[in-house]
């Protein structure tokens, strides 16, 4: 009798589960998947070709991490990281054990979460051939060099648009940055980040192997 009851319950629950095959994604701090096969093993010297500036769409991350430190600020795009990249699609990471910044509080304007600050230094900053202070100064300057389109800077309701239209907004707001230097990251058709390809002097450069979101339409969570 009990066995029959279990079978009946399963028959009732399975159709309900099938009604939602694409649940709301749970964004992680790293919005773009980075296959381990593309990461180069650390060596004494880690040359790289350009930087990828990743500006995370904070409302999407905060949707599933409401208690995160940065979420109390109700920001739009926030600095995730400045990542050394190579033109062949590989990237260096974890290049040394050099300690991070001595005064993390001085970087609270760009990294209120010291855990993320330390992660970004350890994983990416150590491959820049810069000191911690120089690396994060470069990251701060890169962040402030990108203007956020007004359509997205104070968003108070959900909207949807094609990835190309979002990139058009950024190109219009940043006439000195060519369209080829922008890329868009998404997860399950939700906006997760805008990315900008920069040379070692943080001037725009073509993104090359960095691919944009291929969704027909991207949903954008309000702040």
8 A C-beta contact, residue 6 and residue 14: no
Token pair belonging to 194: 């805008």
8 A C-beta contact, residue 223 and residue 76: yes
Q: Which of 70, 80, 119, 144 is catalytic?
A: 80
Whether 80 sits among the annotated catalytic residues: the reply is yes
The dihedral through the CA atoms of 165, 167, 170, 172 has a sign that is negative
Q: Which of 120, 144, 154, 195 is catalytic?
A: 120
What Å distances lie between residue 73 and 62, 68, 77, 109, 112, CA to CA? 10, 10, 11, 11, 10
Q: Which of 74, 124, 154, 195 is catalytic?
A: 124
- Which residues are the active-site residues? 80, 120, 124
């Amino acid at each position: 009798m009990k066995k029959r009851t279990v079978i009946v319950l399963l028959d009732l629950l399975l159709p309900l589960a099938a009604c939602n095959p694409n649940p709301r994604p749970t964004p992680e701090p790293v919005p773009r998947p980075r296959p381990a096969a593309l990461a180069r093993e650390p060596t004494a010297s880690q040359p790289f070709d350009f930087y990828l500036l990743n500006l995370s769409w904070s409302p999407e991350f905060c949707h599933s991490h409401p208690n995160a430190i940065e979420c109390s600020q109700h920001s739009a795009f926030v600095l995730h990281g400045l990542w050394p990249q190579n033109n062949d699609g590989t990237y260096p990471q974890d290049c040394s054990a050099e300690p991070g910044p001595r005064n993390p509080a001085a970087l609270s304007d760009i990294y209120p979460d010291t855990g993320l600050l330390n992660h970004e230094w350890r994983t990416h900053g150590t491959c820049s051939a810069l000191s911690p202070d120089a690396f994060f100064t470069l990251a701060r300057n890169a962040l402030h060099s990108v203007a956020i389109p007004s359509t997205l800077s104070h968003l108070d309701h959900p909207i949807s648009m094609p990835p190309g239209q979002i990139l058009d907004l950024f190109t219009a707001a940043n006439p000195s940055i060519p369209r080829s230097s922008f890329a868009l990251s998404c997860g399950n058709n939700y906006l997760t980040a805008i990315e900008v390809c920069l040379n070692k002097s943080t001037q725009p450069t073509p993104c090359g192997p960095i691919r944009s979101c291929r969704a027909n339409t991207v949903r954008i969570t309000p702040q």
